[in-house]
Amino acid sequence: MLDQRLVRENPTLVTNELGRRGLNVDLAPLQLIAEQQRELESQRNSLQGEGNRIGREVGQRIKNGIDPQANEIKALRDQGNKIKQKVAVLEDKEKLISAKLKEQLLSFPNLPSAKCPNGKSEKDNQVLRQWGNPIQETSLQEHWEIAERLKLFDIERSVRISQSRFVTLTNHGARLERALINFMLDLHASKGYKELLPPVLVNTASLTGSGQLPKFAEESFKCADDDLWLTPTAEVPVTSMHRNEIIPSNQLPLRYVAYSPCFRREAGSYGRDTRGLIRLHQFNKIELYWFVHPEHSEAAHNQITADAEAVLQTLELPYRVIELCTGDLGFSASRTFDLEVWLPGAGAFREISSCSLCGDFQARRSAIRTKEGKSTRLVHTLNGSGLAVGRTMAAILENGQQKDGSVKLPEVLVPYFGANQLPPE
RNA sequence: GGAGAGGUGGCCGAGUGGUCGAAGGCGCAGCACUGGAAAUGCUGUAUAGGGGCAACUCUAUCGAGGGUUCGAAUCCCUCCCUCUCCGCCA
C-alpha cells in the first residue's frame, strides 16, 4: 500500500513513479479525498475534545454535590447532545471517505525502486549474468515427453480426479518431487533459514496484506462457506506470520524458508503451457522470505537471490539472472530478479524463481514494524522462490536426459532420492 | 456438533458508569548504590492519526462492529476468536 501521507504531500512523485510502471494515473482526485479525510478527522477530533470536556465537567460537578437534575447539569447535557449529533454527521462522512481512500490506496501497486530499470514489457528486461553451460542440441525431448515415457506422472487420471492443469506424480516422479522438497529445505535451513510449514488456507486479511487482494481475486481459489482462500504462494502466510507485530530491531533480519503447495487459477492463460509441469493449478514451491530493517534491504535482496541461485548451482542446472524492468514488475515488488533455468528440450530459459524486494509495501498493508528507541518504523520484506519444485523437476529431466533414455540425476540428490539416475522406460 | 467459561498493555492480573490509556506485579531500559555483580531503591516503558522547530498537545484504541448515556474497559445487541468437558475424527 502506498503511504497516504506521500499521496497527500507529493502526488507528483507518486504519479511519476507509477508512470514508470506504465500506469497513467491522475492522483488529483485521490489527493483531494485524502485532504478531505484529514480535514474531517481534524474537525471531528476537536468536537470530540469538546464533548470530553463537557463530560468531565458533569462528572466533576456531580461529584462536588450538585444535584444531577439541576438546571446547570441539564444545560451541559444538552450541549453534549448537540456535539454528539454533529460528531455523528462527521463520522458518517468520514467513514465513507476513509473507506474510499483505503480502497484506492490498496489498489495501487508498489512504486519501483530507483534502481529498477525503466521499460514497458518483459522485452525490456535485462540479463544480469548467466551461470553454467546451456546444452544446445536439437534432438532432445521436452520434460513432459520424458515424464510420460518414464511414467513419472499421470495426467489423464488427474483430469478425472480434478480437472486439467492438475497432475498426479507417480512412482519415481513422486519420489523425485519429495526428494527435491527435502533437499531444498535442508539446503536453506543449513544457511540459517528458519523452516516453516504454514497453512495453505489463508484468510482475506492475509491475502490483502501481501498484495494479492483486492485486485487479483480472480487468480485465487476461494472456499465457498468460509473466509478462506487457497494460498497462491507461501509468501502469503509467511507475511502474515508477523502481521500487526512490532519486531524488536535486534531480532532482525528474520529469515524463513517455507514449503507449501501453491494454488493458482491461471485465469487468462488458456492454451499456454498446457503440457507437463510448467503451469499447474497446484504446484509445490519452497519460498524464502525475509523481514529486514529498511536500511539493509538492498543487501538482503542480493543475498536472497544468491540463496536461490545456490539451489540451481548445487543441482548443476544452467540459468541466467534477469532484472525485471519497471513495466514487468509484480504488484508488490519494487525491484525483482528472476532466475531462468535452461530447458534444453524446449530450447529456452524458463522462470524458476522470482526474488523481489517489496520495500515497506507489504509491511504497511500488514502493519509490520520494528522499533528503534522511541519510534517505530515499517520493516522491509523480501521474497524469493527457492525454488518452484515442479519446474525444477522439469529442468532436471531435460538437462539430465541420456542417449539410452535414462535421466542422470544431480549428485546432491542421491541421499534424498536413493539413486543417481532414473532408469530408461 | 452439544454444554459451559472467557477475551484488558510485551506477559500475568485488577478494574461493573465519571479526569481510566487503564492499579499492582513480572519483564525491559536508564540512573543510584557496588571494586564488579546480585539484591535493593528511584525513574521511565503501548499503538495509530492530527497539530507544533521542540518541550508538548489533541483524538482514537481494553477481541470486532453497533447501541444506551453528558460520560462506557465497565450496561445492552450482533459477530469473531480462545479455552474446558462431551461426541466425532486423521
Mean pLDDT confidence for A305-322: 97
Q: Is the CB of A365 under 7 A from strand B?
A: no
- What's the Å distance between residue A60 CA and nucleotide B16 C1'? 20
Nearest to A127 by CA among A383, A349, A386, A327: A349
- What's the Å distance between residue A84 CA and nucleotide B58 C1'? 18
What 3-state class would DSSP assign to A200? Answer: coil
How much is the pLDDT for A122? 92
Q: What is the ipTM of this complex?
A: 0.86
b/e per residue A315-344 (b: at least 16 CB within 10 A): bebbbbbbbbbbbbbebbbbbbbbbbbbbb
Q: Is the CB of A80 under 7 A from strand B?
A: yes
Write the pLDDT tens digit of every residue in A14-69: 999 999 999 999 999 999 999 999 999 999 999 999 999 998 888 888 877 787 78
Q: What percent of chain A has pLDDT over 70?
A: 100
Options 1.20.210.10, 1.10.287.40, 3.40.50.2300, 1.10.3720.10; CATH for A4-106 is 1.10.287.40
**Rounded Cα distance, A211 and A156, in Å:** 35
Q: Is the CB of A246 under 7 A from strand B?
A: yes
What are the distances in angstroms from CA A403 to CA A46, A253, A316, A424? 81, 47, 19, 10
Q: How many CA atoms lie within 13 A of A310 on its CB side?
A: 17
Per the omega criterion (within 30 degrees of 0), is the bond before A253 cis?
A: yes
Against a cut of 0.80, is the pTM above it? yes
- Cell readout for A117 is 530499470
Which residues in window 181-210 of A are less than 7 A from strand B by Cβ?
Answer: none
Q: Tell me which fold the domain A122-422 belongs to.
A: BirA Bifunctional Protein; domain 2 (3.30.930)
- What's the Å distance between residue A370 CA and nucleotide B42 C1'? 29
Boundaries of every domain in chain A: 4-106, 122-422
- What's the Å distance between residue A50 CA and nucleotide B51 C1'? 16
- Cell readout for A218 is 480472480
- What's the Å distance between residue A243 CA and nucleotide B58 C1'? 29
Residue A333 has pLDDT above 90, yes or no: yes
Question: Using the CA of A74, which nucleotide's C1' is the nearest one?
Answer: B70
Nearest to A287 by CA among A270, A301, A273, A308: A308
Mean pLDDT confidence for A356-377: 89
- What's the Å distance between residue A129 CA and nucleotide B64 C1'? 51
Tell which strand B nucleotides have any atom below 7 Å from a protein Cβ.
18-19, 47-51, 58-60, 66, 69-71
